[in-house]
């Protein structure tokens, strides 16, 4: 099963940049922190840039937040990397000959649509400054050697 990680990875990138604004950050260094590949990091950074959350120039090693962390919500990050896609997705490839398979889509559709608003509301109030400050502890060391 593939898990959705674009939002958490985008928040990871934004937090890293918020915490270390004066550090040279390559996509390789960010990818090491996320444990993914640099191309994926560049893809997310491009989406964050297009979403108005990140300022970066190709070849320049110091990406910056486009606004103060207190003015960036997780909902902003979600919209930057996912647009208006649903957070919950139905498996539409169920067996139509099965009593459960044929009806489960109808049952879940309304629930998923109703929960879409409920899930996004908390994201609106969780700000990057809170996320970034919580991600740092006294024993945290910046792995940029």
Please give the pLDDT value at position 141. Answer: 45
Residue for token digits 């629930």?
111
Q: Which residues contact 126 (CB under 8 A, 6 or more apart)?
A: 73, 74
- Give the predicted TM-score (pTM) of the model: 0.76
- For the chain, helix (H) and strand (E) counts, in that order, are 6, 2
CATH number among 1.10.3720.10, 1.10.10.10, 3.40.366.10, 3.40.50.720, domain 6-134: 1.10.10.10
- Calculate the alpha carbon distances from 97 to 94, 106, 109 in Å: 9, 15, 19
How far separated are the first and last CA of the chain, in Å rounded?
34
Structure tokens at 55: 């300022």
Q: Who has greater pLDDT, 39 or 89?
A: 39
Residue 87 CA, chain-centre distance (Å), reads 12
Q: Name the phi and psi angles at 66, rounded to 5.
A: -75, -20
Res 139: pLDDT: 36
């Amino acid at each position: 099963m593939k898990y959705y990680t674009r939002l958490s990875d985008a928040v990871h990138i934004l937090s890293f940049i918020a915490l270390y604004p004066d550090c040279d950050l390559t996509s390789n260094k960010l990818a090491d922190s996320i444990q993914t590949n640099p191309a994926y990091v560049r893809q997310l950074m491009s989406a964050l840039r297009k979403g108005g959350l990140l300022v970066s120039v190709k070849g320049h090693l110091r990406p910056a937040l486009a606004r103060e962390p207190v003015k960036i919500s997780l909902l902003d990050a979600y919209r930057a990397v996912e647009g208006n896609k649903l957070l919950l997705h139905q498996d539409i490839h169920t067996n139509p000959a099965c009593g459960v398979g044929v009806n489960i889509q109808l049952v879940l559709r309304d629930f998923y649509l109703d929960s879409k608003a409920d899930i996004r509301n908390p994201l609106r109030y969780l700000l990057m400054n809170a996320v970034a400050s919580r991600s740092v502890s006294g024993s945290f060391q910046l792995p940029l050697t």
